[in-house]
Structure 1
Amino acid sequence: MAIDGDGAADDERVPAPESVIVEVSPGTALVYGEAPEGFELMPFRLVTTGDQAAIASALATASAAFNLGGQAANALRQVQPGLYRMAAESVAKMHSTGATLMQSGGQSLGTIVQHGQVVGQARFIPAGGLQAAGVLAAVGPAMAMIAIQVQLNELQGLISQNLELTEGVLKTVRHEQWAELTGLQKAVGRAIEEAGEVGEVTPLIWQNVHGSEKDLQKHRDLFRRNVKNHAATLALHKGHTERLQYIEKNGEAMLLDLHSLLLAHRSWFEYQALRAGRARLEAGSNPSEARLLEKITSDASSEYHAVVEDMAGLLETLTRELSILAELPGKQTIPFTKASRSARDVAAMATQLLAAVERIGGSARKIPAPLERPATTYAKSDERMAKDLRILRWHVRADEEVLALAMTRTPPTGAIESVGDGIGRGLGALGSAFEAAFRRQDILEAATEGLDRDDLLVSVTSQRVLIADVDEFRSHGVIRKAIPTSDIRYVRFRDDNPEGVAEVDLITRTDDYHWRFGNGSATDAAVKRLGALLADQMAIPDSEREALLVALPFRTEAPKEITR
Structure 2
Amino acid sequence: MFPPYSASDYGNENGPGVSLVEIEPGVAVVMGDRPLESMGLPAEFDCEVTPFQLMPPGDIQNLADKISLATGGLNLAAQGAQGMVSARGLVRLAPETMKAMKSGLQPLTSGGKNLGVLVGKGGKIAHQIRWVPATGVAATSVLAALGPAAAALALQAQLASVSKKLDKNLKETQSIAHTIYGNRWYDLMGLYKNAVRAFREAQELGVVNQHTFSLVAADLSNLEGKRGSFRNNLRQHVAALNTDRKQQLDYIRENSNQILADVQAVMVAEETWRCFHLLRTAHISCDTTMDPALKEKQLAHMVEQAQQEYSQVMDEVSRITLELERMCSLIAILPGKRSMSFFGSNNTRNDDEVARMAATLAKTVSEMRNQVHAIPEKPDPKVTAFYGRVPDDVLVLLQYLLPEDEPLLALAEAKSYDSFFDSDVYLGITLTRFFVSGKNKMSREGIIDKMYPLADVRYVRFREQDGLGPKLEIFTENDNISLYFDTWAANGSWLADAQRIRDLFATVMNIPEQEYRDDSLFAEAHQALEAAKTGMKELPRKSRHSAG
Matches within 5 A, 1:211-360: 211-235=218-242, 237=243, 239-282=244-287, 286-287=291-292, 288-338=294-344, 339-360=347-368
Matches within 5 A, 1:27-426: 27-33=26-32, 35=41, 37-43=44-50, 44-64=52-72, 66=73, 68=75, 70-72=77-79, 77-88=84-95, 90-91=97-98, 100-104=106-110, 107-111=113-117, 122-130=130-138, 132-133=140-141, 135-159=142-166, 161-235=168-242, 237=243, 239-282=244-287, 286-287=291-292, 288-338=294-344, 339-363=347-371, 366-372=374-380, 374-380=381-387, 382=389, 385-411=391-417
1:491–1:505 CA contact under 8 A, matched in 2 = yes
**TM-aligned CA distance change 1:49 to 1:522, over 3 Å:** farther
SS for the counterpart of 2:472 is: strand
Q: Provide the rounded CA distance (Å) in 2 between the counterparts of 1:411 and 1:172.
A: 52
**TM-aligned CA distance change 1:493 to 1:58, over 3 Å:** same
1:46–1:200 CA contact under 8 A, matched in 2 = yes
Match of 2:498 in 1: 527
Q: Provide the rounded CA distance (Å) in 2 between the counterparts of 1:260 and 1:20.
A: 38
Q: Provide the rounded CA distance (Å) in 2 between the counterparts of 1:483 and 1:198.
A: 60
State the Cα distance separating 1:9 from its structure 2 match. 6.8
Regions of 4+ moved over 6 Å: 9-12, 73-76, 116-119
Q: Provide the rounded CA distance (Å) in 1 between the counterparts of 2:354 and 2:126.
A: 49
SS for the counterpart of 1:334 is: strand
Unaligned runs of 5+ in 1: 413-420, 429-453, 560-564
Match of 2:517 in 1: 547
Give me the identity figure in percent.
27
Q: Provide the rounded CA distance (Å) in 2 between the counterparts of 1:18 and 1:550.
A: 77
1:498 aligns with 2:466: yes
Using structure 1 for the length normalisation, give the TM-score. 0.81
Q: Provide the rounded CA distance (Å) in 1 between the counterparts of 2:174 and 2:216.
A: 25
- Matched positions, count: 511
Q: Provide the rounded CA distance (Å) in 2 between the counterparts of 1:396 and 1:558.
A: 55
Q: Provide the rounded CA distance (Å) in 2 between the counterparts of 1:51 and 1:4.
A: 39
State the Cα distance separating 1:265 from its structure 2 match. 1.3
State the Cα distance separating 1:53 from its structure 2 match. 1.6
State the Cα distance separating 1:106 from its structure 2 match. 6.2
State the Cα distance separating 1:240 from its structure 2 match. 0.8
Cα deviations across residues 123-149 of structure 1 (Å, max 9, x unaligned)? 43534434643x434432532421321
**TM-aligned CA distance change 1:376 to 1:289, over 3 Å:** same
Match of 2:509 among 516, 538, 554: 538
**TM-aligned CA distance change 1:398 to 1:244, over 3 Å:** closer
Match of 2:455 among 461, 486, 489: 486
AA partner of residue 195 (structure 2): V
**TM-aligned CA distance change 1:95 to 1:328, over 3 Å:** closer
Match of 2:483 in 1: 515
Using structure 2 for the length normalisation, give the TM-score. 0.83
**TM-aligned CA distance change 1:404 to 1:170, over 3 Å:** same
- State the superposition RMSD in angstroms: 3.5
1:220–1:264 CA contact under 8 A, matched in 2 = yes
State the Cα distance separating 1:542 from its structure 2 match. 3.6
SS for the counterpart of 1:489 is: strand
Cα deviations across residues 324-347 of structure 1 (Å, max 9, x unaligned)? 222211123221023011222222
State the Cα distance separating 1:107 from its structure 2 match. 4.2
1:469 aligns with 2:438: yes
**TM-aligned CA distance change 1:215 to 1:403, over 3 Å:** same
State the Cα distance separating 1:11 from its structure 2 match. 12
Q: Provide the rounded CA distance (Å) in 1 between the counterparts of 2:290 and 2:126.
A: 45
Unaligned runs of 5+ in 2: 33-38, 531-548
State the Cα distance separating 1:226 from its structure 2 match. 0.6
SS for the counterpart of 1:502 is: strand
Q: Provide the rounded CA distance (Å) in 2 between the counterparts of 1:119 and 1:91.
A: 13
SS for the counterpart of 1:520 is: helix
